[in-house]
């Protein structure tokens, strides 16, 4: 579970990221779930887009993927959403904590 400060920090980090996941009219199927799982383990933070021809809303897609992958929804803006899941073996992104309130952006 992310705090509001952590969400804000991750939104700023995701601002410069490119879209790594696109959901079309096929919706969320096994290939989308698998590619999202691989991207999350490699990057920890992924940005996804729901295309106009999709029958699902960006909110529904983000929440369904987050529940399936046990990730956190950082934000949903327009047709774009951001998911975060910490990689316990190889953490890549430092998020604000009580011990380190201002981590450096990479």
Coil/strand/helix, residue 30: helix
CA separation, residue 68 to residues 71, 85, 101, 106 (Å): 8, 12, 30, 28
In a domain, 96, yes or no: no
Q: Is residue 34 part of a domain?
A: yes
- Residue 92 covered by a domain: no
SS3 assignment, position 32: helix
* CATH number of the domain residue 34 falls in: 3.30.110.60
For 27, left (φ over 0), alpha (ψ -120 to 50), or beta?
Answer: left
Q: What pLDDT, on the 0 to 100 scale, is given for residue 63?
A: 97
Q: Does 22 map to a domain?
A: yes
Is 65 a domain residue? Answer: yes
Query: What percent of the residues of the chain are helix, what percent strand, and what percent coil, each to the nearest 5?
Result: 35, 20, 45
- At residue 100, the pLDDT reads 79
Q: What does the pLDDT look like over 5-37, one tens digit per residue? A: 999 999 999 999 999 999 999 999 999 999 999
Report the run of H or E that residue 59 belongs to, with start and end: helix 58-69
Q: How confident is the model at residue 98 (pLDDT cuts 50, 70, 90)?
A: confident
Task: Using the predicted structure, report yes or no on whether residue 105 has a pLDDT greater than 80.
Answer: no
Confidence of residue 106 (pLDDT cuts 50, 70, 90): low
Summarize pLDDT for 37-92 with one digit per residue, the tens: 999 999 999 999 999 999 999 999 999 999 999 999 999 999 999 999 999 898 89
Q: In this structure, is residue 104 part of a structural domain?
A: no
Q: Does 11 fall in a domain?
A: yes
Domain containing 73 equals 4-84
Count of domains in the chain?
A: 1
58 found inside a domain: yes
């Amino acid at each position: 579970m992310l705090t509001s400060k952590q969400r804000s920090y991750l939104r700023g980090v995701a601002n410069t990221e490119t879209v790594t996941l696109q959901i079309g009219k096929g919706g969320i199927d096994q290939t989308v779930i698998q590619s999202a799982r691989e991207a999350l383990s490699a990057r920890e933070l992924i940005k996804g887009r729901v295309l106009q021809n999709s029958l699902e809303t960006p909110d529904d897609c983000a929440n369904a993927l987050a529940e399936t992958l046990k990730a956190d929804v950082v934000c949903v803006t327009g047709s774009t959403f951001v998911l975060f899941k910490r990689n316990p073996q190889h953490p890549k992104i430092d998020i604000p904590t009580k011990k380190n309130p201002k981590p450096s952006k990479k």
